[in-house]
Structure 1
Amino acid sequence: MGISSIVGTFGIWDYVVFALMLIISAAIGIYYAIFDRGEKTTKDFLIGGRRMTAVPVSLSLTASFMSAVTVLGTPSEVYRYGAMFGVFAFSFLLVVIVCSEVFLPVFYRLGITSTYEYLEMRFNTVVRLCGTAMFIFLTVLYTGVVIYAPALALNQVTGFDLWGAVVSTGIVCTFYCTMGGLKAVVWTDVFQVGIMFAGFLSVITRSMVVQNGFSAIINDSYHGGRLNIWDFDPNPLRRQTFWTIILGGTFTWMGVYGVNQAQVQRYISCKSMFHAKMSLYLNLVGLWVILFCSVFSGLCLYSIYKDCDPWTSQIISAPDQLMPYLVLDILRDYPGVPGLFVASAYSGTLSTVSSSINALATVTVEDLVKPYFKMSDRKLSWTSKGLNLLYGALCIGVAGMASLMDSLIQAVLSIFGVVGGPLLGLFALGILFPCANATGSLVGLVCGLCLTLWVGIGAQLYPQLPEKAMSLSLSTANCNFSFITQAFNKTFPTQLPLLTTAVQDLAAYRPYLADNLYSLSFMYFSTIGTLSVMAVGVTVSLLTGGRKQNLVPGLTLTKEDLTFYHMYCFFKPKDRHEELLDCGVNPKKACGTLNPTFSDGEVDTMEENTGKNNLTFSHDKRS
Structure 2
Amino acid sequence: HESYTLGFGLVDYAVFTVMLLVSMFIGLYQALKKRSNGAPSADDFFTGGRSMPAVPVGMSLCASFMSAVQVLGVPAEASRYGFKFLYMCLGQSINSLLTALIFLPIFFRLGITSTNEYLRMRFGRGMQLLGSVQFLLATLLYTGIVIYAPALILNEATGLNLWLSLLSTGIICTLYTTLGGMKAVIWTDVFQIIVMLSGFLAIFIHGTILVGGPGRVLEIANNGSRINFHDFDVDPRKRYTFWSLTVGGAMVWLSMYGVNQAQVQRYISCRTERAAQWAIFVNQLGLCLIVSTAATCGIVMFAFYVGCDPLKSGRISSPDLYMPHFVFDIFDGYPGFPGLFMACAYSGTLSTASTSINAMAAVTLEDILRSHLPQMTQARLVLISKGLSLVYGVGCISVAVLSSFLDWGVLQGSFTVMGVVSGPLLGVFLLGMFVPGANKLGAYFGIVAGYCVSIWLAVGSTLYPPSAESMGVLPSYTDQCAPTNISLSNISGSASISSRGLHNFYSVSYLYFGAMATSSVVLVGLVVSYATGRKVTMDPLHMEFVKFSLRKIYSGIQLFTIKHLIFVDTFCPLVLYWFNMPPNREYDYLNTILLSFCV
TM-score for both structures, normalised by structure 1: 0.84
Q: Would the aligned equivalents of 2:450 and 2:517 in 1 still touch at CA under 8 Å?
A: yes
Change in Cα spacing, 1:96 to 1:57, as seen in structure 2 (3 Å) is same
Q: 2:505 aligns with which of 517, 538, 549?
A: 517
2:128 aligned with 1:128, yes or no?
A: yes
Q: Would the aligned equivalents of 2:64 and 2:355 in 1 still touch at CA under 8 Å?
A: yes
Partner residue, 2:549: 562
Aligned partners of 2:248 and 2:549: how far apart in 1? 25
Change in Cα spacing, 1:46 to 1:206, as seen in structure 2 (3 Å) is same
Q: 2:484 aligns with which of 462, 482, 492?
A: 482
Partner residue, 1:29: 27
Aligned partners of 1:484 and 1:339: how far apart in 2? 29
After TM superposition, give the deviation of residue 376 of structure 1 in Å: 2.0
After TM superposition, give the deviation of residue 4 of structure 1 in Å: 2.5
Matched positions, count = 542
Aligned partners of 2:112 and 2:465: how far apart in 1? 41
Partner residue, 2:236: 236
Aligned partners of 1:478 and 1:565: how far apart in 2? 55
Aligned partners of 1:317 and 1:45: how far apart in 2? 42
Q: Would the aligned equivalents of 2:221 and 2:299 in 1 still touch at CA under 8 Å?
A: yes
Change in Cα spacing, 1:217 to 1:565, as seen in structure 2 (3 Å) is closer
Aligned partners of 1:224 and 1:566: how far apart in 2? 39
CA offset digits 1:81-132 (Å, max 9, x no partner): 1122110111111111111111111000000000101100111011111111
Could you tell which deviates more after superposition, 56-65 or 304-313?
304-313
Q: Would the aligned equivalents of 1:7 and 1:328 in 2 still touch at CA under 8 Å?
A: no
After TM superposition, give the deviation of residue 466 of structure 1 in Å: 2.5
Amino acid at match of 1:163: W
Q: Would the aligned equivalents of 1:220 and 1:303 in 2 still touch at CA under 8 Å?
A: yes
1:8-23 alignment, distance < 5 Å: 9-23=7-21
Aligned partners of 2:236 and 2:168: how far apart in 1? 40
Aligned partners of 1:305 and 1:7: how far apart in 2? 17
Amino acid at match of 1:165: S
Partner residue, 2:471: 469
Could you tell which deviates more after superposition, 461-470 or 278-287?
461-470
Q: 1:531 aligns with which of 510, 519, 523?
A: 519
SS in 1 for 2:386: helix
Aligned partners of 2:79 and 2:553: how far apart in 1? 45
Partner residue, 1:183: 183
Partner residue, 1:435: 437
After TM superposition, give the deviation of residue 400 of structure 1 in Å: 2.3
Change in Cα spacing, 1:86 to 1:565, as seen in structure 2 (3 Å) is closer
Partner residue, 1:315: 315
1:390-405 alignment, distance < 5 Å: 390-403=391-404, 404-405=406-407
Partner residue, 1:88: 88
Could you tell which deviates more after superposition, 320-329 or 373-382?
373-382
Q: Would the aligned equivalents of 2:76 and 2:323 in 1 still touch at CA under 8 Å?
A: yes
Aligned partners of 1:155 and 1:559: how far apart in 2? 49
1:154-303 alignment, distance < 5 Å: 154-303=154-303
CA offset digits 1:321-355 (Å, max 9, x no partner): 11111111111221111100110000010000000
Q: 1:544 aligns with which of 529, 532, 538?
A: 532
SS in 2 for 1:562: helix
Q: Which has the higher helix share?
A: 2
Aligned partners of 2:474 and 2:223: how far apart in 1? 12
Q: Would the aligned equivalents of 2:438 and 2:525 in 1 still touch at CA under 8 Å?
A: yes
Q: Would the aligned equivalents of 1:459 and 1:514 in 2 still touch at CA under 8 Å?
A: no
Aligned partners of 1:232 and 1:511: how far apart in 2? 22
Q: Would the aligned equivalents of 2:129 and 2:367 in 1 still touch at CA under 8 Å?
A: yes
Change in Cα spacing, 1:427 to 1:557, as seen in structure 2 (3 Å) is farther
Aligned partners of 1:429 and 1:245: how far apart in 2? 24
After TM superposition, give the deviation of residue 514 of structure 1 in Å: 4.0
Change in Cα spacing, 1:267 to 1:557, as seen in structure 2 (3 Å) is farther
Q: 2:2 aligns with which of 4, 17, 23?
A: 4
Could you tell which deviates more after superposition, 276-285 or 537-546?
537-546
After TM superposition, give the deviation of residue 234 of structure 1 in Å: 0.5
Where in structure 2 are there 5+ consecutive unaligned residues? Answer: 488-496, 556-599
Aligned partners of 2:554 and 2:447: how far apart in 1? 36
SS in 2 for 1:539: helix
After TM superposition, give the deviation of residue 53 of structure 1 in Å: 1.1
Aligned partners of 2:265 and 2:548: how far apart in 1? 19
Amino acid at match of 1:96: S
Q: 1:453 aligns with which of 455, 460, 467?
A: 455
After TM superposition, give the deviation of residue 314 of structure 1 in Å: 1.4
Aligned partners of 1:561 and 1:343: how far apart in 2? 43
Q: 2:408 aligns with which of 406, 409, 412?
A: 406
Aligned partners of 2:362 and 2:146: how far apart in 1? 20
Could you tell which deviates more after superposition, 309-318 or 196-205?
309-318
Partner residue, 2:595: none
Change in Cα spacing, 1:287 to 1:445, as seen in structure 2 (3 Å) is same
CA offset digits 1:248-302 (Å, max 9, x no partner): 1110101111000010100011110010000001111101110110110100110
Aligned partners of 1:423 and 1:566: how far apart in 2? 22
CA offset digits 1:192-221 (Å, max 9, x no partner): 000000110111111011011111111111
Aligned partners of 2:407 and 2:229: how far apart in 1? 26
Q: Would the aligned equivalents of 1:421 and 1:530 in 2 still touch at CA under 8 Å?
A: yes
Partner residue, 1:324: 324
Change in Cα spacing, 1:327 to 1:351, as seen in structure 2 (3 Å) is same
Partner residue, 1:578: none
Aligned partners of 2:546 and 2:499: how far apart in 1? 49
Aligned partners of 2:193 and 2:361: how far apart in 1? 23
Q: Would the aligned equivalents of 1:432 and 1:557 in 2 still touch at CA under 8 Å?
A: no
Q: Would the aligned equivalents of 2:62 and 2:283 in 1 still touch at CA under 8 Å?
A: yes
Q: Would the aligned equivalents of 1:306 and 1:474 in 2 still touch at CA under 8 Å?
A: yes
Change in Cα spacing, 1:560 to 1:453, as seen in structure 2 (3 Å) is closer
Q: Would the aligned equivalents of 2:436 and 2:537 in 1 still touch at CA under 8 Å?
A: no
Q: Would the aligned equivalents of 1:62 and 1:286 in 2 still touch at CA under 8 Å?
A: yes
Q: Would the aligned equivalents of 1:462 and 1:510 in 2 still touch at CA under 8 Å?
A: no
Q: Would the aligned equivalents of 2:220 and 2:303 in 1 still touch at CA under 8 Å?
A: yes
